[in-house]
Amino acid sequence: MRYSLISRKLSGVQAGWNIHYEYIKHEVDVPYMKKAEYGCIINISSESGVQPDAFMPHYDASKAALINFTKSFSKAYAVNRILVNTVSPAFIMTTMLDNMLKTTAEKHGITFDEATQAFLKENRPHIELKRPGKVEEVASTVVYLASPPSLTGSTFVWMEFLLRVNNNLYGPLIENIFEI
C-alpha cells in the first residue's frame, strides 16, 4: 500500500502523539504517585500493537511502542509501588468503529451487519465469535487492574474474546483471571 506525503505526515503526527502523550502523563502524574507511595497506571493500547494490520502501520507501531513503554515504566516505578499495565482490546464496538461501519454500509449499499461481517472476514478472521467485542467486556479488566492488589508490567490482550495475559489464555469471562 502506498501512502501520499500528506498521509505519511498525518500518520507521523498520530503516532507521535500516541507516544508523546505517555511522556506527558508520566511527567504530570508520577510525581504525585511517588509522593503517595502508590499508584496505578493503566494504558489502553490495541491488539494492533501485537498483531499489526497492513493498512495502518503508523497506528500499529505507536500501539506497540505503548506496550513497550508500559513494560519499561513498570520496571522503573515498581520500587515506588506504582503499578503500570496495558489493556489491548481487539475489535471493540466503539463510537468510532460504529461510525466507520455505518459509512462503509452506506457507501456499498449493504446493511450494517453485512459491513461488520465483511470487516471481520477481511481484517479480523481470527475472532471466532464473528462479532465485535463490547466496551463492557474490556472495562472489567481495567477495574480489576485498578483494584489492589494487582499486577505490574502485564499486557492484557483481548483476542478471540479470550483474555491473553502474558501469553496465558483465560476466558471468555474476566472472572476466570481471579482463579490464577
Active site residues: 59
Q: What residues contact 6, with CB distance under 8 A and at least 6 apart? A: none
CA–CA separation, 5 vs 11, rounded Å? 10
What's the grid cell of residue 162?
Answer: 479470550
CA–CA separation, 155 vs 50, rounded Å? 10
Please, what's the b/e burial string for 88-97 (b: 16 or more CB within 10 A of its CB; e: otherwise)?
bbbbbeeeee
CA–CA separation, 89 vs 156, rounded Å? 8
What's the grid cell of residue 155?
Answer: 499486557
